[in-house]
Structure 1
Amino acid sequence: MIYHMTAFLAGFILDLFVGDPIGFPHPVRWIGNLISYLTEFFLNKAERILEPEKTNKLKRRYGLIMVIIVITISAGICFAILHVAYTLNSILGVIIETVITYQCIATKSLYVESMKVYKALKSQGLDVGRKAVSMIVGRDTACLDEKGVIKAAVETVAENTSDGIIAPLIYLAIGGPVLGIAYKAINTMDSMVGYKNEKYMDFGRAAAKLDDVVNFIPARVSAVLMIIGCLFLGRDYSMTGAFRIFKRDRFNHASPNSAQTESVCAGALGIQLAGPASYFGKIVDKKYIGEPIRSVELDDIKRANILMLATAIICEVLLICTVVIFTGIAYGLISQ
């Protein structure tokens, strides 16, 4: 447990300062390549059937098979690497576990990518800002005005505070890098095939549903931690506003999880997020989240990132304390 907690803390710190350097090997990229290959293979196989009803059923079945394959291979390889490393040398095991832990978290990456939008809008104009935000959102960005670009960046930071940071930390604390990698595999599958369009509606169903399940508790934990984080961040953040909008708007999204943190962020900053958006050329009528107490402004991207960082640090500290306390209790019971 000492080794695990050392790697858990070191990996978090490493992510805060290093992030995701361009060109550096990353397991999520390898998982993404595996998903791409399996998606093309299974969809091509399913589409050979000319009867639409049979094709759709086959896509759902193949989508489930892909989920099982990707999770098994990803977690299995991670387990094998850690097993060999710890068998050879405990210090080597801690180092390998630290690196994998660090690669499961996206704190610095989320901060850097969202701040590219901030910098682009501030110094290079709307067109560059649209291009920057298109790298971190799934919606169409060509038609967005400046406030639309800012809202998209803020929403991404708020949503990914859960998906990219808090959820991985929770699973890493519970099951180490093996469970952490399994979570990242699920989350990556959802981001690649979990779309409600003609191509992925059936094939991506299993991945999307499983992602909803594994993020159900982390999303709500993230929201609570974000509310607590407002307490330490000064007058730009309203803790009461965050809690009020969270209670009211936390289900204003097609996903049962996405609006949990978006509602807290909107309430904390006193702005309105979400609303109708364009995806693949079609307008999707999404509910609004929050109240337009004031107009969205460029510095809201910075504010959302500060709230994200505070939430991540609070989560890391609480998880370490929780694991240490429960380990101590378990050790005491075993010793009696």
Structure 2
Amino acid sequence: MIPFGGLFAGAVLLALLLDAVFGEPDWLWRRMPHPVVFFGKAISFFETRFNRPKDQSALLGRLAGTFSLAILLLLGCALGTGIQLGLMELGGVGGVLIAVIASTLLAQKSLYEHVERVAVPLSQSDLQGARAAVSMIVGRDTSKLDEAGVTRAAIESLAENYSDGIVAPLFWLVLFGLPGLICYKIVNTADSMIGHRNERYLYFGWAAARLDDVLNLIPARLTMILLLFSPVSLHRSRTVAFQSWTRFFADARRHRSPNAGWPEGAMARRLDIALSGPRYYEGVLVDEPFVNDTGRRQIGADDIVLALKLYGRACQCQFVIVALLGTGALI
């Protein structure tokens, strides 16, 4: 049951529809900053003023980062609460405006389009074009990737970003309204900017990285369920994909991320492919274990198409689930 009643439930459903249909319209964001840009500028404001990696101890660095994040979350919560309360007073018009705002912080269509841009040149044997396209959505070095490596990178990005770019913000929106959505996006943006284990951000970004892990804990596992159980015909049956649960959980726990292994593992098993594995970061080979290491490793554009098909069906299923929750709000 969605806690803010039927009007808000309708706004959430409309937000999903708006995002699915319109995505991130370039004409709009060329004329005005995206909300995430504001979050990024606010994070940079605190980071440049309070992060002193050469002068701070580990404790002081973590305290500075935690303090900065706490202030940002308080501001985000106040902003989200004020907007939501004000708009809910406007009735249906306010509900539409809430939907418009929420849709800008979801990424169903844009994620589909970014991953599809990798499949197109790959299907035309344009490896350079595919590397360029996948470099826009992953952080690893792409210059040495072969066809299978590009494919794995694209599908991994699809699985991970489905979790933290769609399921997680939707989860916190349903639970806590716009304040929950805004606060989640602040943390997620902070993690992507300062949650790195390098000399500059190791301590200052600690709170952002840890809180992002916590906020994605449940959504990552919900994403796994959506990907595993969404009814769509792929290479192998869902019955086969559900076998060897012990290995599935072991794969997820071996992943470098406490959360990404769950959606990646589900995607890998539904497609019968191996994901993750060794990759280069800043010229250094990182020997990561494979997820679903018995799956196919010679993969290509057709597998990206199948992954997008599964992703699309999972998005449809999540819409139905939210609609059912909204119906509960009306009872």
Please give the TM-score of this superposition, normalised by the length of structure 2: 0.90
Corresponding residue for residue 104 of structure 2: 103
Give the CA deviation at 1:248.
4.2
8 Å CA contact 1:15–1:105 kept in 2: the answer is yes
Corresponding residue for residue 23 of structure 2: 19
Query: Mean Cα displacement is larger for which, 268-277 or 118-127?
Result: 118-127
Give the CA deviation at 1:86.
3.3
Amino acid at match of 2:308: N
Corresponding residue for residue 63 of structure 2: 61
| Distance in 1 (alpha carbons) for counterparts of 2:185 and 2:70 | 14
Corresponding residue for residue 241 of structure 2: 242
| Distance in 1 (alpha carbons) for counterparts of 2:76 and 2:63 | 20
Amino acid at match of 1:113: H
C-alpha RMSD of the superposition = 1.9
Evaluate the alpha carbon distance shift between residue 117 and residue 254 of structure 1 in structure 2; reply closer, same or farther with a 3 A threshold: same
| Distance in 2 (alpha carbons) for counterparts of 1:200 and 1:282 | 19
| Distance in 1 (alpha carbons) for counterparts of 2:297 and 2:53 | 50
Aligned partner of 1:39 among 27, 40, 47: 47
8 Å CA contact 1:242–1:265 kept in 2: the answer is no
The superposition leaves residues 206-237 of structure 1 with CA deviations (integer Å, 9 ceiling, x where unpaired) of 111101111111111111121111xx211435
| Distance in 2 (alpha carbons) for counterparts of 1:198 and 1:287 | 26
Give the CA deviation at 1:104.
2.2
8 Å CA contact 1:169–1:316 kept in 2: the answer is no
**4+ residue runs over 3 A deviation:** 244-248
| Distance in 2 (alpha carbons) for counterparts of 1:103 and 1:2 | 21
Does 2:306 align with 1:298? no
Greater relative contact order (CA < 8 Å, ≥ 6 in sequence):
2
| Distance in 2 (alpha carbons) for counterparts of 1:212 and 1:169 | 16
Amino acid at match of 1:42: F
Q: Which structure is higher in helix share?
A: 1
Aligned partner of 1:312 among 312, 315, 331: 315
Evaluate the alpha carbon distance shift between residue 205 and residue 64 of structure 1 in structure 2; reply closer, same or farther with a 3 A threshold: same
Amino acid at match of 2:148: K
Q: Equivalent pairs: percent with the same residue? A: 36
- Structure 2 unaligned regions, length at least 5: none
3-state SS of paired residue (2:303): helix
Amino acid at match of 2:164: D
Give the CA deviation at 1:38.
2.0
Evaluate the alpha carbon distance shift between residue 201 and residue 9 of structure 1 in structure 2; reply closer, same or farther with a 3 A threshold: same
3-state SS of paired residue (1:302): helix
Please give the TM-score of this superposition, normalised by the length of structure 1: 0.89
Evaluate the alpha carbon distance shift between residue 91 and residue 325 of structure 1 in structure 2; reply closer, same or farther with a 3 A threshold: closer
- Structure 1 unaligned regions, length at least 5: 329-336
Query: Mean Cα displacement is larger for which, 312-321 or 150-159?
Result: 312-321
3-state SS of paired residue (2:275): strand
Does 2:6 align with 1:5? no
Query: Mean Cα displacement is larger for which, 212-221 or 89-98?
Result: 89-98
The superposition leaves residues 90-134 of structure 1 with CA deviations (integer Å, 9 ceiling, x where unpaired) of 233112210122122111010011111112323472222112111
| Distance in 2 (alpha carbons) for counterparts of 1:286 and 1:124 | 27
Does 2:260 align with 1:258? yes
Provide the aligned length of Structure 1 versus Structure 2.
Answer: 319
8 Å CA contact 1:190–1:208 kept in 2: the answer is yes
Amino acid at match of 1:9: L
8 Å CA contact 1:237–1:269 kept in 2: the answer is yes
